[in-house]
Amino acid sequence: MAAPAVTITPARRRISLPPWFGSVIGVVVLLVAWQIAGWIGVFHDTVPPPTRIVQQMFDDGWSFYSTNISTTMYEAAWGYFWGNLLAVGLALVVIVIPFSERPLMQLGIASYCVPIIAIGPILQITFDGPTPKIILSAMSVFFITLIGTLVGLRSADKTSLDVIRAYGGGRVRELTKVRLRAMLPSLFASLRIAAPAAILGAIIGEYLGGDSGLGVAMINSEQALEISRTWAIALIATALAGLAYALTALVGRMLTPWAPRRRA
């Protein structure tokens, strides 16, 4: 009796798309829907279509936006630097001096819970120039980085810490040999979130007082009923926040190649 014929079906080849493909499609769909809604007047001219916003950018010219962007980014960059430096420094102090954790964490929680809109006017009458905006920007990132750094420092491998202790090493040796390396992935995850927060803090500070900056330009255009310009400034601020997030993520990926990656 002849053996039954065996049919071999070739396996279907799965098409692998890059991880950013879905995000790009989502943005394109959003822009198309936004454009159509603007054309048919769904928002009654309060939300202009993207083409009108882009045309407004060209009409205003680069000179209008460059001055305001440079002011806001200067304030955000210094706030980002000082806020993160203070947060990382205090997190290291907590690991080396454990009994300092309670007062330092209370300080961090207080800085996070104090409404920026309430403390802003006090800073405006206390300091001159861009200092109030820098302080508000630093406050916006301090607690985020403090918590992320502490989580990273405490995620160190227990076996490696036991080896350090077995050879007579103390907390400082644990920190330099094990904890700092373990801290980096969590630190950069916090820095990614802190980057847009720094820009937001600087813009809020400009709302409360200033001569130039994206926040000042947005208030002026809103009061002048320049709807398209207001949206243009808002989209530029959003793009800057997204760029800061992406650059921080890129640096973190380059400096922590051993860290596990999760596919988006």
Q: Residue 209: is its pLDDT beyond 80? A: no
Q: Residue 88: is its pLDDT beyond 60? A: yes
If pLDDT is split at 50, 70 and 90, which confidence band does 9 have?
A: low
What is the mean predicted confidence (pLDDT) over 84-104? 89
What is the mean predicted confidence (pLDDT) over 34-45? 76
Kindly report the average pLDDT of the chain as a whole number: 84
Give CA–CA dist 33/177, Å, rounded: 53
Give residue 16's pLDDT: 66
Q: Residue 59: is its pLDDT beyond 90? A: no
Give residue 192's pLDDT: 93
Give CA–CA dist 257/245, Å, rounded: 18
Answer for the pair 46, 227: CB distance below 8 angstroms, yes or no: yes
In sign, the C-alpha dihedral spanning 36, 39, 41, 47 is: positive
Q: Residue 199: is its pLDDT beyond 80? A: yes
Q: What is the pLDDT of residues 134-185, one digit of tens each?
A: 999 999 999 999 999 999 888 888 888 888 888 888 888 888 888 888 889 9
If pLDDT is split at 50, 70 and 90, which confidence band does 21 have?
A: low
- Give the Å distances, CA to CA, from 119 to 33, 53, 78, 80: 40, 34, 19, 18
Give residue 197's pLDDT: 93
**Distance between first and last Cα of the chain:** 55
Q: What is the pLDDT of residues 72-84, one digit of tens each?
A: 999 999 999 999 9
